[in-house]
Amino acid sequence: MSTSPDTPGRLSELLSASARRYLFPLFLIVLLFAVGHSITGGFATLGNINNLLTVSCILAVATFAQTFVILAGDSGIDLSVGSIMSMSALMVPTICAGEASRLPQAVIASILVAAVFGFFNAAGVMLIGIPSLVMTFIMSAVVDGFTLSYTMGQPTGKIPDILLALGQPAFGGVRWILVVTLIIAIVTELYLRTTRSGQSIFLVGNNRRAAALCGINVRNTVFLAYMLCAVLAALGGILLVGYSGSSILKMANSNTMLSVPAAVIGGVNLSGGEGNMLSGFLGAIIFTLLTNLLVAAGLPNGVRILIQGSALLVILFVYTRDRKLRQ
């Protein structure tokens, strides 16, 4: 039996894949800014760019979280990301109850609770075999209900100043939240690339059977991915409450919907095994830009949501298709 030889030019294909991961999103960002500029003059000013980058940090962290679950493969998607973010955003001030010294406990508590939710997501998916979209969809309702119960609808407690500092400028107009988000991106990316468990996530996501045959504990790896996703979402909620200075029920839930296409545009492969935090950040910027653009264009709320849904459909069409039935 014959096999095909390597064809020349594969390396250039390789190079452009990496460039494609960053160039295409950057191109979209520039395009969106240009469109925004044509709608309202102040859109592409340095100040506004800074604002938009800052605002996109929240969606960015949601995207990082989502990336973990998608990376682990088997068409995993976590629809509870936004709800966990909201939960954490409301839980932390409630635990603090005005005492800044209680912040460490509050942060740890919200992370632990989030990890438990992530654990149950993974359990439903891996142990019982419920599709991840369904399991996490249900979990989002449970998390929302939990948040409502826990806070009795009224998150009490002043938000500690150190959190509020996230919205303040660090240097040269760049706010602290942007710095923190970049740090989170770098740390998680390093985790994925350099640690054994992180690298295992890629292999498990690409080919579960081969990973098991290598001796990798697939179940543990998937559990880890779901739990890290939840923890990151919790962190995102903490950033959110600090940056926005207020906590409202379900304030972060809209991030769920956008975290998926943001990740996809950022180069995450929906079947798993391929993804990158920094380009995910770019994807988050694109969708934040899109949202703001639609607002700047004076489009009503409903139209915005309609367009976001359509954008997701287009992205799904371009990036994912099930196998054809006929060979």
Partner 1 sequence: MSTLECQGLTKSFGAVQALQNVSFSIAAGEVRAIFGGNGSGKSTLAKILGGSVFADQGRIICAGQPVNVTSPVAAKNLGIIVTSQELSLLGNLTVEENLQLCDLPRRVLFTDRQRIHQEAMLVLERFHLEKFARSPVASLAPNQQYLLEFAKALIQKPKILVIDEITSALYREDVAQVKAVINELKAGGCCQLFISHRLNELYDICESITILRNGELVETAPLAGISEDHLLSQVSGQDVTKVILRSRQTTRLDNSDKTFLKVRDLALPGFTDSVSLDIAQGEIIGVAGLQGNGQSGLVRSLFALEGPIGMECDGASLKLSNPSQAVHHGFAFVSGDREREGTFSIRSLLENTGAVTDLVLGKKNRHKEESLRQYRVAMRSARQPIRTLSGGNQQKVVLARWTTTDPRLFLADDPTKGIDVTARREVHSFMHELARRGTSVVFVSSDSEELVDLTRTYSNSRVIIMYKGQIIQTLKGAAISAENIAYHEVPKGGSLT
Partner 2 sequence: MSKRLLSRLANSPQLPVIVLAVAFFCWNALTLRGFFTPASLREFLNLMVPLGCLTIGSSMVLVTGGLDLSVGAVVCLVNVTVITLMGKNYGFSLAAAIGVGMLAALGIGLLNGLVVGYLRINALLATFATQSVAAGAALWIMPRPGGRGSTAMVKWFKSGWLAGVIPTSALFLLIPLVIWYLIRATPFGVWLYAVGQDEQKAFLSGIRTRGVKLMAYVFSALMAGLGSIALLGNIGGGDPNVGMSLTLSAMASTVIGGVSLAGGEGDALGALIGAVFFNLIIYTVFGANLSVFYQDLATGLIILLGIVGMTLYKQHNVRKRRDFTG
3-state secondary structure labels for all residues of 125-176: HHHHCCCHHHHHHHHHHHHHHHHHHHHCCCCCCCCCHHHHHHHCEEECCEEH
State both tokens at 36: 């925004």
Task: Give the one residue of 196, 321, 323, 324 binding partner 1; rule: CB under 8 A.
Answer: 196
Angle ∠(12,14,16) on CA atoms, nearest 5: 70
State the nearest-atom distance from the C-beta of 258 to partner 2, in Å: 10
Task: Give the one residue of 33, 220, 269, 304 binding partner 2; rule: CB under 8 A.
Answer: 304
**According to the binding rule CB under 8 A, does residue 48 interact with partner 1?**
no
206 touches, from partner 1, partner 2, none (C-beta below 5 to 8 Å by class)? partner 1
Under 8 Å between Cβ of 221 and 200: yes
Residues in CB range of 250: below 8 A, 6 or more apart: 83, 86, 144, 147
State the Cα–Cα distance between residues 70 and 204, nearest whole angstrom. 11
| Interface of this chain with partner 1, residues 307 to 326, rule: CB under 8 A | 326
**According to the binding rule CB under 8 A, does residue 196 interact with partner 2?**
no
**Binding span for partner 1 by CB under 8 A among 39-47, 79-87, 199-207, 230-238:** 199-207
Under 8 Å between Cβ of 132 and 125: yes
Task: Give the one residue of 29, 35, 148, 179 binding partner 2; rule: CB under 8 A.
Answer: 148
State the nearest-atom distance from the C-beta of 85 to partner 1, in Å: 30
312 touches, from partner 2, partner 1, none (C-beta below 5 to 8 Å by class)? partner 2
Task: Give the one residue of 50, 51, 217, 254 binding partner 1; rule: CB under 8 A.
Answer: 217
| Interface of this chain with partner 2, residues 61 to 80, rule: CB under 8 A | 75, 77, 79
**Binding span for partner 2 by CB under 8 A among 1-9, 178-186, 233-241, 309-317:** 309-317
State the Cα–Cα distance between residues 79 and 66, nearest whole angstrom. 9
State the Cα–Cα distance between residues 225 and 215, nearest whole angstrom. 18
207 touches, from partner 2, partner 1, none (C-beta below 5 to 8 Å by class)? partner 1
Under 8 Å between Cβ of 251 and 240: yes
Residues in CB range of 141: below 8 A, 6 or more apart: 83
| Interface of this chain with partner 2, residues 100 to 139, rule: CB under 8 A | 124, 128-131, 133-134, 137-139
State both tokens at 68: 């973990």
Binding-site size for partner 2 (CB under 8 A) equals: 47
**According to the binding rule CB under 8 A, does residue 74 interact with partner 1?**
no
State both tokens at 147: 């948040």
Task: Give the one residue of 47, 129, 172, 215 binding partner 1; rule: CB under 8 A.
Answer: 215
Under 8 Å between Cβ of 249 and 91: no
**Binding span for partner 1 by CB under 8 A among 39-47, 63-71, 88-96, 195-203:** 195-203
Beta bridge partners of 167: none
Residues that bind partner 1 (CB under 8 A): 1-6, 10-11, 13-14, 196, 199-200, 202-203, 206-207, 209-217, 269, 273-274, 326-327
